[in-house]
Amino acid sequence: MTDYFTTTLSNDEIRAISSIGLAHLGDAVYELLVRTYLCAHGKATGKGLHRATIELVCAPKQAELSERILPMLTEEEHAVFKRGRNANVHSVPQHASRAQYQQATALEALFGWLYLNGEKSRINELFNAMMEE
């Protein structure tokens, strides 16, 4: 049986995944990190938890927070980020500009790519840098 919690794909298999596919996975990785972060920091009440999650996972906030890690990215990570930013998205939420949505998609694609490469410690390092006050 395949263990999808620890699945690591080959470089060729990961390259074959579209930017939108990487962002789709990275969105789940990022949201899980945000939910864990909020619970660990005492925000574990029903409405407050949901509102705090929505605030941190919306495209404008992701775009803002992603700016904090751009100087930290390796050349390869930056290439994945850029690939995600340039993904052909067909619809943009009303509460976000196209630029914000592209930046959020780039962040999610990066997190998806790192996850598939088994780079959980790197994801954690970048996420912590994003969440620093």
| The pLDDT of residue 1 | 81
Burial of 110 (0-12, 13-18, 19+ CB in 10 A): buried
| The pLDDT of residue 104 | 96
3 is catalytic: no
pLDDT confidence band for 44 (50 / 70 / 90):
low
Q: 3-state SS of 53-77?
A: HHHHHCHHHHHHHHCCCHHHCCHHH
Closest of 2, 12, 34, 25 to residue 114, by C-alpha: 25
Contact between 49 and 39 under an 8 Å Cβ cutoff? The reply is yes
> Is the pTM of the predicted complex or chain greater than 0.85?
yes
Closest of 72, 59, 71, 69 to residue 103, by C-alpha: 59
Among residues 23, 27, 34, 35, the one annotated as catalytic is 27
Tokens of 40: 């660990």
What pLDDT digit, counting tens, does each position of 89-103 carry? 777 778 888 899 999
What pLDDT digit, counting tens, does each position of 51-88 carry? 999 999 999 999 999 999 999 999 999 999 999 998 87
